[in-house]
Structure 1
């Protein structure tokens, strides 16, 4: 735990070089968990530069953990703190389960959003309609699923991320890796899909770190034991000209950082140690939720 806290502090320090950083304790907001990407507000910005928040329901990643009543209040509290309008939804949705290209496409996985432990009464068409209504999108890319050790039922932020409107970075593993099959299915799906305008996507492969496992003690959520954790270079954060990439003390770190630098030459690519953070089953993207810079703010 101490090592993970040190890595979190280092992440906050580096992020603070490029962003104005605020934690929920600093805002006086109580939470059940640290993964604000999933339960925090989802910010949207319109063509006039006005910002609003969306407050989706959070049920502890499909009811895997005990009540998350504090987490569910966070979007409204942050919206109130920022004096922003906030739209509340009845649909269950975590921020880490979606990624957008900013031009009308949202990307997600079938394993998560179509899971019966999220919105069993909603059809795929109803889910798509709600996403479009909230995010201003008009096209959904559905990938098959997520990686081993991910207790979120396959969040997209570990398996495929937009870095511009037509470019997606996605991990690909060696055949002997436990995630090989699902990552290949995702890769193939990305090759067959199109964006909101019917154009093919540009796919760039990221390496995959060697499997990292942790021997968890038994607790109220399970018997514990040795478990693979969801280590992925795709769990990066883009921050005002900087790209903060989780690294895991492995030989694949350098090759991953090189790919990011080649793909985004105008960004300052920084590796942030996350091998202990990921024992908590999340990483840099999971720990953060960005607020866009407005050009004007409306509370109407």
Structure 2
């Protein structure tokens, strides 16, 4: 009988020389799925379009923006909203690929590059809306395959559930993730931790997986890494900490901090850890929202950071600017967007540029 490895990984991206680049590597484009689902922003859908379009405007200053839209009416609506904020429409492309929701980090394609940087491939992980929380999600689940077919790119289908917001990359062989999300039984109950690691290593072309514990309170994804700890270069992470010992995030973020201190990279070195504050709790309709400055997006010409009308906004922006000296850091008010339980990183997925 064939072993698990032989069955699953007989032709993996890693074996074929592909890997997932770090987010700060040069992009060809950023992919988005235009927001249209009222249930994701009850009573606030209309209010998110201005900050969302500001987000697109800044990305489009340094790369293409490719947006999945449901139909011509959605394209016309989106175009009008983008014109209103002065976005460069010559750098924005629309694709008629209907979606259920807007969270392209999780349902969008994982783009890989080969070792020479001369070829791309796409991984289409399974997607089940964070453990079947928000059906239907059938349209979202097929977006990566549609994009791969459109651009005639090699396509890998691991046939397990994995979300882009649950994994973080240093571009040098290391993946950072959380047990709270990836080992949750609502994702892949048939797989153990070791098997999930094998999938990550083989389909992202990596060498090691480092595990944190829990995500922040209010995160309906069961603990995505992109709300707590982010690589900013090969050996440095930004990680959020809570200063108020009475806050319900305090202990779990202290535990994550201690876990990061104990980690070692492939070269044996410890992580360089830069602390990032948390905003004061953001509450809407008695619900604590997963507001975090860690949910920033690294575009070619800017790092775009969610802000929350909070005293710590300015501090967070200064810290993030300090670790990205070659990019401008831009804060955009995410107070309405976070009502959808995600922010700019959750909404976007990068497509790397070919290097030759």
Relative to the length of structure 1, the TM-score reads 0.93
Partner of residue 273, structure 1: 333
Paired with 1:89 and 1:140, the residues of 2 have a C-alpha distance of 17
SS at match of 2:158: strand
Figure out how many residues of one structure are paired with residues of the other and give that number. Answer: 286
Alignment RMSD (CA, Å): 1.0
State whether structure 2 residue 239 is matched by structure 1 residue 170.
yes
Partner of residue 188, structure 1: 258
State whether structure 2 residue 179 is matched by structure 1 residue 119.
no
Gaps of 5+ in 1: 216-225
Paired with 2:321 and 2:205, the residues of 1 have a C-alpha distance of 30
Partner of residue 103, structure 2: 35
CA shift for structure 1 position 199: 1.2
- Cα deviation per residue 1:55-92 (whole Å; 9 max; x = unaligned)? 00001101112231000110001112222111011111
Partner of residue 283, structure 1: 343
Partner of residue 223, structure 1: none
Alignment of 1:210-221 (within 5 A): 210-215=280-285
Partner of residue 40, structure 2: none
State whether structure 2 residue 53 is matched by structure 1 residue 9.
yes
Alignment of 1:1-300 (within 5 A): 1-25=45-69, 26-49=94-117, 50-174=119-243, 175-215=245-285, 226-296=286-356
- Cα deviation per residue 1:250-277 (whole Å; 9 max; x = unaligned)? 1101000110111221221111111110
* Structure number with larger C-alpha Rg: 2
Relative to the length of structure 2, the TM-score reads 0.79
Gaps of 5+ in 2: 1-44, 70-93
- Cα deviation per residue 1:76-130 (whole Å; 9 max; x = unaligned)? 0111222211101111100000001000000000000000111111011110011
SS at match of 1:62: helix
Runs of 4+ residues deviating >3 angstroms: none
SS at match of 1:21: strand
